[in-house]
A and B are shown apart, each in its own frame.
Chain A
Amino acid sequence: MRYLTFILITVVFLAGCSKRKNAISWTTHLSIPISKDSLKLDDFLNVNNIYSSPNHHYYLKDTLNLFELNQNDFLPNLDFSFSESLSFPLAFSIPPNQIAPVTIPSNHQFDFQDLQLHEISFNRLSFKYTATSNIDGDFFLIIHLPNALKENGDPFYDTIEIRNSNGNNNAFVDELQIENLKLDLSNNGSTYNSIATTFKVMSGEDTIPPNFFSNVNLNMELANFDIAYMRGYFGNVNIIDEIITDVNIMNKLIAKSVEIYQPEIELIIKNGVGMDAQLTINDMEFNRNQDSKNLSHYTIGQCINISRAQDLGWDFNYSNKSIDINPQNSNINEVINLLPTQIVTSYHLETNPQGNHAGFNDFYYTNRPLSIDAAVTLPLLFNVDSLVFTDTLSVEFPDLVRINEANLDIEIENAIPLSFCFDLSVLNGDKINLTQPCFIHSNLDSNNLISTPSLSHLTASLDSANSSTLLRENKIIFKAIIYSPDTSSYFPVFTTSDWLNYKLGLTFNADINIE
């Protein structure tokens, strides 16, 4: 019994060392600085897109790609697949590892509709081939393209192995991978879309027996390719299509009115293809929800001639053409006021309207397409009335902290000629209470320039119900409503002298949980 008592005591002590199974928690009331900074306009906008104009106003210039004309858009499908039935009259047996003294030439002409190619370079080209033969044993078929050069300038040879151990005309399937190949499809300028080939047979480890009727049937099916360059005549093609361009940032903005002083859109047509074209923009429709505005401009419906790019060998010149759209020649103000979320551009493009006048010298580099960009110039001299920016912010809380109630205090010094009001809610739509939800614009002088900053203090209070929604959903719906000091004047914003200082502190009542 004595020993039992001693063991019992030891067990009791050790039992106290078992790992804790439940979390420890306690309630705390913390006050934490969250953020402090001095913000200028270039903290929000890409400084590389902001320029100074001669009249000392700044403007934002950004470029939106409307579309790129790629190979598939104006050229037919290029299929270089071909089949061959090759007869090798072998009068003598071919000892192991010897090439039979028979060469079978062949020529393959491809039909690419209007496209007449003289030259093509591939970054990568692969064929899936199927071969059958009555030659017994493993042997090799040597393929040579007399008009093809590899990257280093060597002629192209490739060898495919045909394993026909039973001589039973079994189909042998494999893939041929070729990289960096330059092909002359004109046979030295005499034709187009043509590939010349020669084939030879080489024995493997076995002797190929003599047979006047030895044959190989080869089916080369194009698997995929990556074109680097093409030259020839690209044909006269008419493309009528429409392009839809989404302006996603605008989904977060709505406004009663946005007036910008002298906005501009420059349509930049940049042609990197060695091919003439005529472009007609039939319509540019700017949409937002059910509302739409059609751009009114003299070029709409008019044919625009686009010259070909010039490849001089030592230099490359794009053909550039630009069209200015401004308040004087269009209804751009109405378009901007709509804050469009989508642009639908319908167009008609005709390639080589004058036919093959360059004599098979149209060219195309994959990385130099024909593109149309819209360069948007927005002077930072504007008037906005109730411009609303809405976003859903992710708010991640560490598992350690479960906030019950919180107050977010913000002190703001505003030296920008804009007033901001905020509206915050949790994901179920319940509002987060804001005392003094707005901070007003800076004080302005008679020229609408900033004289002194305004000072505001905002508090956002998160009650326990909103807290638990926020902890569950981890999202806040954030809405900022922006106003100019009045609704009639243009107010300039300067990237360097206009600023906004803020301090943000959080006080909260939370449960700390440690597992």
Chain B
Amino acid sequence: MKIQLLIPLILLVSLDYCNAQQDTSTNKKNKIYTDNYFNIGSTHFPVAFYNTFLNGGHLTDKLKGNLNNNNRILRTGGESQIKLGVLIHSEKNVDYFYVDLIQLFTFGGKYHQSLFNFIFSGNNDLALIKLNNTAFHYRNFQLLNIGFNKDNYSFGFVLGNVISENNIKFNTSDFIEFHDNYIWNAQISPSLITVPNTNNLVLKNGQVFGIDGKIKQEFNQHLNFEIGVENLGLIHYSNDALFTQIDTNFTFEGFSFDQILNFNETIEDISSSTIKYAELESPINLTPYSIWGITNYEFKKLTYSLSFFYRHNSQFMPRFNLILSKKISSTLSLSGNIAYGGYTQFQWGTKLLCDYKKYNLGIQIMNVTGFLSSWSKSFGLGLNFNLKL
């Protein structure tokens, strides 16, 4: 079944069970919750490009998007999170203790249009591929967050595993230059991190040690501000994690006559002689932490919010979000938002919240136009569910 058809169906089924209920957030009850989302986006090609990558097919010129953004840095990426947590009420020094299990998968890339064009359109009309500011990552983390909430702040520790990770970051002076069809000049000196998965369920090749925290400031009963950080800390890598620095500067004018006659040997020689590898020792790195903030202003039955989100070292552009929320019934709240940033540009999103007795369900569509996959450049869904015990 197409996911586009399934979403409205889920909404209908879910809304059927939503009825009016008072806000129970001050009821001091224990709570289990799940908070899940996934999103994909690009600054320059439509969502259907991803569909083709996932399902196979031909990437037409239309799917490749606009190929003439010559001076722009482009981004592509996505995130997926599955979070299961429990909030335990405390009568003593803190209000709540929380324990979260998070599976976080992110991938992203930041690059010039020329690199995208070279790969997907060729270099026939290309004189230069700029590689400065070019970086890509793929990351899969498992995290355990343990902390507490008290009054207007919360604090916790993060322990986790890097299931797998691949990073490549090019140097500011890197480029590939084409002179007619007889000469390529290249300066390529990226640094790479490769963290392979292990067969051991517990011991992985990277361990995460970090903190979570947030502070909320209420200026008056209508205006408040909240800011937080997640997973700020260090990753310790094992010896099986590879840190490599490539330093290659070459002019390629084709192979020599002898190299063509002995082509198999030539291919082996190229990897061993042209590309210079240096293995680096860097067992500790900063985590790809995220910081966020939101300010809310309530006026009449509407809430106006402005939020931001940023994830470090992930080719992520700070995402700003303007949100307008309205409680449309005693059980339902509906919000709409306009966002800019992340791995895409403008998004028009919506979120429906439903409170019913002990249950709380939220469904978010991060870009309403994302269902038009051949036109829209991002797509995302969020689903959160709370159960008060």
Q: Is A25 an interface residue (CB 8 A)?
A: yes
Whether the Cβ atoms of B256 and A21 lie closer than 8 Å is no
Asked, given contacts A20-B54, A24-B52, A37-B256, whether A409 binds B181 with beta carbons under 8 Å apart, the answer is yes
Which residues on the A side are within 8 Å of B254 (C-beta)? 32-36, 503-505
For the complex, what is the distance from the CA of A391 to the CA of B215, rounded to whole Å? 79
Q: Which of A481-505 contact B (CB under 8 A)?
A: 503-505
Whether A16 touches B257, Cβ cut-off 8 Å, given contacts A6-B385, A31-B123, is: no
Residues of A within 8 A of B252 (CB): 33
Q: Pick the residue among A13, A20, A29, A37 that contacts B124 (CB under 8 A).
A: A29
* Contact yes or no, B181 A32, CB < 8 A: yes
Q: Which residues does chain B contribute within 8 Å of A27, judged by CB atoms?
A: 58, 61
Point out the residues of chain B lying under 8 angstroms from A249, CB to CB: none
B346: Cβ under 8 A from any A Cβ: no
Could you give, for residues 239-258 of chain B, a 1 whenever the CB lies within 8 Å of some chain A CB and a 0 otherwise? 00000000000001111111
Select A30's contact among B61, B123, B180, beta carbons within 8 Å. Answer: B123
Given A6-B385, A26-B59, answer yes or no on A31-B17 (Cβ-Cβ < 8 Å): no
Whether B181 and A35, one on each chain, are in contact in the complex, defined by CB atoms closer than 8 angstroms, is no
Q: Is A312 an interface position by the 8 A CB rule?
A: no
Using A8-B10, A505-B182 as known contacts, say yes or no to A35 and B260 having CB atoms under 8 A apart.
Answer: yes
Q: Report if A196 contacts B (CB, 8 A).
A: no
Q: Cα distance A409–B260 when bound, in Å?
A: 17
Known pairs A12-B3, A29-B122, A33-B183; A24 contacts B178 (CB<8 A): no
Q: Does B53 contact A (CB under 8 A)?
A: yes
Residue of A nearest to B38 (CB): A13
The residues of B that contact A26 with a CB separation of less than 8 Å are: 58-59, 64, 120
The bracket for how many chain A residues form the interface is 35 or more
Cβ of B8 under 8 Å from chain A: no
8 Å CB contact of A22 from B56, B119, B123 = B56
Q: Once bound together, how far apart are the Cα atoms of A504 and B16, in whole Å?
A: 70
Nearest Cβ on chain B to A488's Cβ, whole angstroms: 32
> For A16, what are the chain B residues with a Cβ–Cβ distance below 8 Å?
3, 54
CA distance A35 to B257 in the complex (A): 7
Shortest Cβ distance from residue B114 to the other chain A in the assembled complex, whole angstroms: 14
Does A5 sit at the interface, judged by CB under 8 A? Answer: yes
- Does A43 sit within 8 A of B, measured CB to CB? yes
Q: Is A9 an interface residue (CB 8 A)?
A: yes
- Which residues from chain B contact A505 at a C-beta distance below 8 Å? 180-182, 254
Given A31-B122, A31-B181, A25-B59 contact (CB < 8 Å): yes
Please tell me if the beta carbons of B255 and A35 are within 8 angstroms of each other in the complex. Answer: yes
Q: In the complex, what distance in Å separates the CA atom of A39 from the CA atom of B256? A: 9
Residue of A whose beta carbon sits closest to that of B53: A24
Interface membership of A28, Cβ < 8 A: yes
How far, in whole Å, are A509 and B259 apart by their CA atoms in the complex? 25
Q: In the docked arrangement, what's the CA distance between A128 and B29, Å? A: 97
B70 within 8 A of A: no
Q: Which of B17, B254, B259 has the most C-beta atoms of chain A within 10 angstroms of its own C-beta?
A: B254
B122 in contact with A30 (CB, 8 Å): yes
- A residues in contact with B178, CB < 8 Å: 31
Pairwise interchain contact B13-A5, C-beta atoms closer than 8 A: yes
Q: Mark A444-456, 1 if CB is under 8 A from B, else 0.
A: 0000000000000
Contact between chains at B54 and A507 (CB < 8 Å): no
Residue B6 at the A interface, CB < 8 A?
Answer: yes
Known A-B contacts A8-B10, A20-B56, A504-B254; A28 and B183 likewise in contact (beta carbons under 8 Å): no
- The reply to whether B13 and A1 contact each other, CB–CB distance below 8 Å, is yes
Instruction: Please name the residue on chain A nearest to B58 by beta carbon.
Output: A25
B16: chain A residues within 8 A (beta carbon): 1
Q: Does A283 reach chain B (CB closer than 8 Å)? A: no
Give bound CA distance, A31 to B183, whole Å: 10
Q: Which residues of B contact A472 (CB under 8 A)?
A: none
Task: Output the least CB separation between B381 and chain A (Å).
Answer: 8
**A56 contacts partner chain B, Cβ-Cβ < 8 Å:** no
CA distance in complex: A504, B260 (Å): 12
Chain B residues near A8: list those with CB within 8 A.
6, 10
Contact A35 B256 (CB under 8 A): yes
Shortest A215–chain B CB gap in Å is 66
When the two chains form their complex, are residues B124 and A31 in contact, meaning their CB atoms are under 8 A apart?
yes
Bound Cα distance A22, B56 (Å): 5
Per-residue interface assignment for chain B, residues 303 to 343, with 1 indicating a CB less than 8 Å from any chain A CB and 0 otherwise? 00000000000000000000000000000000000000000
Which residues of chain A are near B19, meaning CB under 8 Å?
none
Verify A507–B257 contact, CB threshold 8 A: no
Contact B120–A43 (Cβ < 8 Å) = no
A506 to B383, CA, bound (A): 52
Q: Contact partner of A33 among B57, B182, B258, B385, CB < 8 A?
A: B182
Interface residues as binary, A324-336 with B (CB distance below 8 Å gives 1, 0 otherwise): 0000000000000
Please give, as numbers and ranges, the residues of chain B lying within 8 Å of A34 by CB-CB distance. Answer: 254-255
Q: Per-residue CB proximity of B121-133 to A under 8 Å, as 1/0?
A: 1111100000000
A411 at the interface (CB under 8 A from B): yes
Binding site for B on A (CB under 8 A): 1-2, 5-6, 8-9, 12-13, 16, 20-37, 39, 43, 409, 411, 503-507, 509, 511
Of all A-B residue pairs in the complex, the 9 with the closest CB atoms, nearest first, are A22-B56, A505-B181, A29-B122, A26-B59, A31-B181, A29-B124, A35-B254, A33-B254, A28-B122
Q: A8-B10, A29-B123, A503-B182 are in contact. List 9 more A-B contacts (CB 8 A).
A: A5-B13, A6-B385, A24-B59, A32-B254, A411-B182, A504-B182, A505-B181, A506-B181, A507-B181
Question: Could you list some 14 contacts between A and B, CB below 8 A?
Answer: A8-B6, A13-B38, A24-B52, A24-B57, A25-B59, A26-B59, A29-B121, A31-B124, A33-B254, A35-B255, A35-B257, A37-B258, A503-B254, A505-B180
